[in-house]
Amino acid sequence: MSVTSAVAEARGLTKVHGRGESRVPAVDAVDLEVPEGQTLAVMGPSGCGKSTLLHLLGGLERPTKGEVWLAGRRVDTLSERALARLRRRSVGFVFQAFHLVEELSAAENVELPVLLAGHSRREARRRARLLLDRFGLTARARHLPSELSGGQRQRVAVARALANEPRLVLADEPTGNLDSAATLDVLRVFEDLRAAGQTLVIVTHDERVAATADRLISMRDGMFVDDTRLTGAATGWLGGLAGLEG
């Protein structure tokens, strides 16, 4: 059993793609602890293993070797059914491409994971209403994703990620498809989450986004090459936002 207080933890985590001579370690024997309430940014060149690391931490992929712990429970040995239940309860995902259900309204997209977790429709509607109001989207609640701006769609995606009150939010290039104004809009949402004590891991290519974190890990060839504590959360977030506004 994990003896740390980390929300997410990896030990000797390895993911190998391909077979034989074409085998490539996407993640190569890394160790990681993400404490409660920390905002961690992960940077590195394309193909360095950032997104694979995120998927392993969230149980979307299984490691070739090593251990993954989430909310005090080892997840790499769970059955698919048990892993799906744990993901729904403990992890929220935010993706670059939003991954909203195009046929559902903004409110229905936020309600969906609550219903899948077995809660009542009334409870799903209550949570969606609160989250959409929190992110300034009440007037857009009945709009389809195609009727929303990029920044609005990503805010809906963040609201959906929070619908089951997860201990960990994993964001994979959450501003990659957004212009600077929409990026600033979404970063303010992440700032509010950090201030509220939400644990975040954000994969990004954007140095301005990374500057908003408490901690920055740089990856190359599947390994961590640097792990830096930034100048305090408040300074980091304000500096990152100022850089975007400039």
pLDDT tens-digit readout, 58-100? 999 999 999 999 988 899 999 999 998 888 889 999 998 899 9
**Helix-helix angle 180-195:233-245, to 10 degrees:** 170
Question: Tens digits of per-residue pLDDT, 98-112?
Answer: 999 999 999 999 999
Q: Which residues is 34 bridged to in the sheet? A: 8
CA distance 163 to 110: 6
**Coil, helix or strand for 205?**
coil
Determine the distance from the C-alpha atom of residue 233 to the mean position of all C-alpha atoms in its chain, rounded to a whole number: 18
Sequence-distant (6+) residues with CB within 8 A of 237 are: 187, 191, 194, 212
Nearest to 117 by CA among 162, 85, 93: 85
* % residues pLDDT > 90 (the chain): 67
Angle at the Cα of 116 (from 108 to 87), degrees rounded to 5?
115
Sheet bearing 65-70, strands edge to edge? 24-34, 8-17, 65-70, 73-74
Q: Domains in the chain and their CATH numbers? A: 8-245 (3.40.50.300)
Read off the tokens for 162: 């929070």
Q: Which residues is 202 bridged to in the sheet? A: 41, 171
Question: Tens digits of per-residue pLDDT, 105-157?
Answer: 999 999 999 999 999 999 999 999 999 999 999 999 999 999 999 999 999 99
The pLDDT, as a whole number, for residue 239 is 53
The secondary structure of residue 65, as a DSSP letter, is E
Q: Which residues is 91 bridged to in the sheet? A: 168
